[in-house]
Structure 1
Amino acid sequence: MGKPYINNAVIGNGSMLGCVSETGELIRLYWPEIDFPQHIEKLLTGFFDRNVPNSTVWFSEGDYEYSQAYIEGTNILKTVARIKSLSLEVVQTDFCVPCDDVLVRRYSIKNIGRNGIHLGVGVASRVTSHTLDMGCTLFDFGLDALVHYRHDNYWAIVSDAGVKEFQIGNDPFRAVWEGRLDGTDSIGMSPDGALLWDLGYVEPGCERNITLYMIFSRNMNSLKELTRKIKSVGYTSLFNTTKEYWTDYLSKCRVLKTGNGTVDRIYLRSLLLFRLMTDRNTGAILASPEIDENFTRCGRYAYCWVRDGAFITSALNEAGLCSLSEKFYEWSVRVQDKEGFWHQRYHINGNVAPSWGLQIDETGSILFGMWNHFLHVKNVSFLEKVWPAVLKACEFLENFIDGDTGLPLPSFDIWEERMGEHTYSTAAVIAGFRAAANIAETLGVSKKTIDQWRSIADNIKKALERNLVDNAKGIFLRSIRTKLNPWGSEPCADTVIITVNPKGYTREVSAFDGKMDISLLGAAVPFGIYEPRHPVMRNTAEKVEKLLYCEKAGGIYRYQEDGYAGGNPWVVATLWLAMYHIRAGNIEKAREYFHWSVECATPLGFLPEQAGKNDGKPCWVIPLTWSHAMFVLVLKELAEKGGIGDMQRG
Structure 2
Amino acid sequence: MTLPTTDRAAEQTGLAALVASSADLISSLQDAGGAYPASPTFSAYAGYSWFRDGAFIADAMSAYGRAESAERFFDWCARVLESRRDEIGAIAAAARAGAPVEDAAMLPTRFTFDGRAGDDEWWDFQLDGYGTWVWAVAEHVRNHGADAARWAPSIALTVDYLASSWQRPCFDWWEEHAEHVHVSTLGCIAAGLRAAATLGVLDDARAALAASTADEVEAFIRARGVADGHLSKWVGSTAVDASLAAVVGVMDVVPAASALGTATIAAIERDLAVDGGVHRFLGDTYFGGGQWPLLSCFLGLAHARAGDPDRARALLAWAASTAGPDGSMPEQVERHLLDASRVDEWVERWGTSADPLLWSHAMLIRLAVELDGATAPAPQETSA
Q: Is the TM value for this pair above 0.5?
A: yes
Aligned to 1:287: 38
Q: Pick from 217, 220, 245: which aligns with 1:460?
A: 217
The answer to whether 1:536 aligns with 2:260 is yes
Equivalent runs, 1:215-234 vs 2, <5 Å: none
Q: Structure 1: how far apart are the matches of 2:195 and 2:329? A: 31
TM-score, normalising length from structure 1?
Answer: 0.48
Structure 2 CA distance for partners of 1:556 and 1:259, relative to 1, 3 Å: closer
Q: Deviations over 1:11-36 (max 9, x none)?
A: xxxxxxxxxxxxxxxxxxxxxxxxxx
**In structure 1, what is the equivalent of residue 102 of structure 2?**
none
> CA shift at 1:461, angstroms?
1.1
* Unpaired stretches in structure 1, ≥5 consecutive residues: 1-256, 293-298, 402-407, 481-511, 642-650
- Give the secondary structure class of the aligned counterpart of 1:346: strand
CA RMSD of aligned residues (A): 2.1
Matched, 1:621 2:354: yes
Alignment of 1:504-519 (within 5 A): 512-519=236-243
After superposition, where does 1:53-452 map in structure 2 within 5 Å? 260-280=12-32, 282-292=33-43, 299-336=44-81, 337-338=84-85, 339-340=87-88, 342-353=107-118, 354=120, 355-380=122-147, 383-401=148-166, 408-419=167-178, 420-439=180-199, 441=200, 443=201, 445-452=202-209
Structure 1 608/626 Cα, relative in aligned 2: closer, same or farther at 3 Å?
same
Q: Deviations over 1:542-576 (max 9, x none)?
A: 0111111235xx41111111111111111011111
Question: What is the DSSP-based 3-state SS (H/G/I as helix, E as strand, rest coil) of the residue aligned with 2:175?
Answer: coil
Q: Report if the CA contact (8 A) 2:41-2:355 is conserved.
A: no
- Kept after mapping to 2: 8 A contact 1:343/1:352: yes
Distance 1:612 1:342, change over 3 A: same
After superposition, the Cα gap between the structure-2 partners of 1:370 and 1:258, relative to the gap in structure 1 and judged at 3 Å, is farther
Give 1:238's aligned residue: none
Radius of gyration: which is bigger?
1
Structure 2 SS opposite 1:421: coil
Looking at structure 1, the residues matched to 297 and 369 of structure 2 have their Cα atoms a distance apart, in angstroms, of 12
Residue 300 of structure 1: how far off its partner (Å): 3.4
Q: In structure 2, the residue corresponding to 1:304 is in which secondary structure?
A: strand
Greater CA deviation, 260-269 or 363-372? 260-269
CA–CA distance in structure 1, aligned partners of residues 203 and 36 of structure 2:
34
Equivalents in 2 of 1:376, 1:330: separation in Å?
Answer: 17
* Cα distance in 1, alignment partners of residues 280 and 196 from structure 2: 29
DSSP-derived class of the 2:181 partner:
strand
CA distance, structure 2, for counterparts of residue 361 and residue 459 of structure 1: 16
The superposition leaves residues 94-152 of structure 1 with CA deviations (integer Å, 9 ceiling, x where unpaired) of: xxxxxxxxxxxxxxxxxxxxxxxxxxxxxxxxxxxxxxxxxxxxxxxxxxxxxxxxxxx
Deviation at 1:301, TM superposition (A): 4.4
Q: Which amino acid aligns with 2:306?
A: A
Q: 1:448 Cα shift?
A: 4.0
Cα distance in structure 2, aligned partners of 1:614 and 1:436: 40
The residue type paired with residue 287 of structure 1 is: A
Query: Could you tell me which amino acid in structure 2 is paired with residue 414 of structure 1?
Result: W
Higher relative contact order structure (alpha carbons within 8 Å, sequence separation ≥ 6) = 2
Q: Deviations over 1:575-617 (max 9, x none)?
A: 11111111111111111111111211101111111122259xx
Q: CA deviation at 1:640?
A: 4.2
- Asked if the contact 1:342/1:362 (under 8 Å) is kept, the reply is no
Q: Give the Cα–Cα distance (whole angstroms) in 2 for the partners of residues 598 and 427 of structure 1.
A: 27
Displacement after TM superposition at 1:455 (Å)? 1.5
Q: Partner amino acid for 1:577? A: L
Task: Report the CA distance between 1:452 and its aligned residue.
Answer: 3.0
Contact 1:266 1:606 in 2 (8 A): no
The alpha carbon displacement at 1:395 in A equals 1.4
* CA shift in 2, pair 1:559/1:379, >3 Å: same
Aligned amino acid, residue 157 of structure 2 = K
1:470-517 superposed Cα distances (whole Å, 9 cap, x missing partner):
2xx11122113xxxxxxxxxxxxxxxxxxxxxxxxxxxxxxx233221
Residue in structure 1 matching 2:285, options 563, 566, 587: 563
1:390–1:436: 8 Å Cα contact kept in structure 2?
A: yes
2:50/2:109 contact within 8 Å kept: yes
Pair 392,640 (structure 1): closer, same or farther in 2 beyond 3 Å: closer
Q: Conserved in 2, the CA contact under 8 Å of 1:277 and 1:287?
A: no
* Post-superposition offset of 1:285: 0.6
Residue 602 of structure 1 corresponds to which residue in structure 2? 324
* TM-score, normalised via structure 2 length: 0.80
The Cα offsets for residues 293-342 of structure 1, whole Å up to 9 and x where unpaired, read as xxxxxx43441001011110111112221111111111111112323375
Cα offset for 1:384? 1.9
Q: How many angstroms apart in 1 are the aligned matches of 2:183 and 2:245?
A: 9
SS in structure 1 opposite 2:317?
A: helix
Partner residue of 1:612 out of 325, 334, 353: 334
Please, which runs of 5 or more residues in structure 2 have no aligned partner? 1-8, 89-105, 338-351, 375-384
Q: In structure 2, what is the Cα distance between the partners aligned to 1:366 and 1:598?
A: 26
Per-residue CA deviations over 1:352-410 (Å, capped at 9, x if unaligned) read: 13332310001111111122222223132xx2221111111111222214xxxxxx211
